[in-house]
Structure 1
Amino acid sequence: MISVKMLKPYYIKADDEFVRIILAYQYFSVSINKHVYQFIPVEAKEIRINRKTRRVENVESRFAFQKGKEIIYMTMTELITLPDFLTQLHHIAKPYYEEVHEMDEIASENRLILEELEKYNLKRLIDKALDERDEKMFRELVKLL
C-alpha cells in the first residue's frame, strides 16, 4: 500500500504556460507498506503542470525516495495514480491555474449576436407592417424597440 505522507513545495515557479512545483528534502514523503520514505532530489526535482489543461506534463520523470540506505524510484505516472497525491498536488497548484474565460466570452458574443438578429427581425417586421399598412401591428412592434 502506497500513500503520500507529506507533499509541500520547496518553492513554486509559474510562467505563462506551466506551474513548476520544486521539491526538496523533507518536503515530500511517501508511505510504502507502513514505512516512510523521504524524497531525495537525485533525478527529478520538479512537478510541471500545464496552467490551462491542469495536467501534469512531466509524466516520464522519476522521483527517488530513501529510507536509510534503501532507495526506491517512482515515476510520475505511478505517483499520479495515487488519489491523495493528485488531490494535494492540485490544491497546491490551484492558485496558479489560468482562469478559463473563453466560455464566458463565447457566451457573451453569442448573446450579442442573438440580440442583433432579434433587432433586425423586429425592423423587418416593422417594414412588413408598413408595407401592409397595418397600423396596429406597426405601433406594437415599435414599442418593442
Structure 2
Amino acid sequence: MVTVKMLKPYYIKAEENHVRIVLAYQYFSVLINNKVYQFIPVEAKEIRINRKSQKVVNIDAKFAFQKGKDVIYVTMAELISIPDFLYQLNSIVESYYQFDVVLSKDDKNNELSVLIDQLENQNLRRLIDKALDDKDKETFYLLTEFL
C-alpha cells in the first residue's frame, strides 16, 4: 500500500501547453508498508501536466524512492491511482490550468465596450492630472465635467 506523505515541487515551469513540476530530494516522500521513502532523482524527475486537459502526460515515468539502501520504483500510473496524490498535485497546479471560455458575440461586444470605457476613464484622469500639473484651470474644469 502506497500513500503520499509529502509532495512539494522543487520548482514549477509553466509552458504554453504543459506545466512541469520538477521534483528534488526531500520534497517528495511516500509511505510504503508504514515506512517513509524519500524521492531520489534517479529515473524520472518531473511530472508533466497538460494545461488544457488537466491530465498527467508522462504516465510511463518511473520514480525512485529510497530508505537507507532500499530503493523502490513507483510508476506514474500507480501514483495517479492514489486519490491523495491527485489531490495534492491538483492543488499545486490548479492556478496554471488554461480554461477556454467561449463567449457569445454579444458577450464579446459587451466585454469590449466595458474595456473601452475603462480605458477612456483612465485617459481622462491622466489628462486631468496633466492639467493640474500644468496649473491649467480651464482645462481642469472642462475635463472634470466628463467624470
Matched with 2:5 is 5
Give CA deviations for 1:4-60 in whole Å, capped at 9, x if unaligned: 000000000001100000000000000011100000000100000000000000000
Q: Secondary structure of the residue that 1:86 maps to in structure 2?
A: helix
Alpha-carbon distance in structure 1 between the residues aligned to 2:76 and 2:91: 17
Gap runs ≥5 in structure 2: 109-147
Q: What pairs up with 1:1-145 in 2 under 5 angstroms? A: 1-102=1-102, 105=103, 108-109=104-105
Which protein has the larger Cα radius of gyration, Structure 1 or Structure 2? 1
Q: Secondary structure of the residue that 1:9 maps to in structure 2?
A: coil
* Percent of aligned pairs sharing the same letter: 63
Query: CA 1:111 to 1:13, structure 2 compared with 1: closer, same or farther past 3 Å?
Result: closer
Equivalenced residues, count:
108
Alpha-carbon distance in structure 2 between the residues aligned to 1:58 and 1:77: 9
Alpha-carbon distance in structure 2 between the residues aligned to 1:34 and 1:4: 11
Alpha-carbon distance in structure 1 between the residues aligned to 2:90 and 2:100: 16
| TM-score under structure 2 length normalisation | 0.70
Matched with 2:144 is none
| TM-score under structure 1 length normalisation | 0.71
Alpha-carbon distance in structure 2 between the residues aligned to 1:100 and 1:22: 26
Counterpart of 2:54 in structure 1: which amino acid?
R
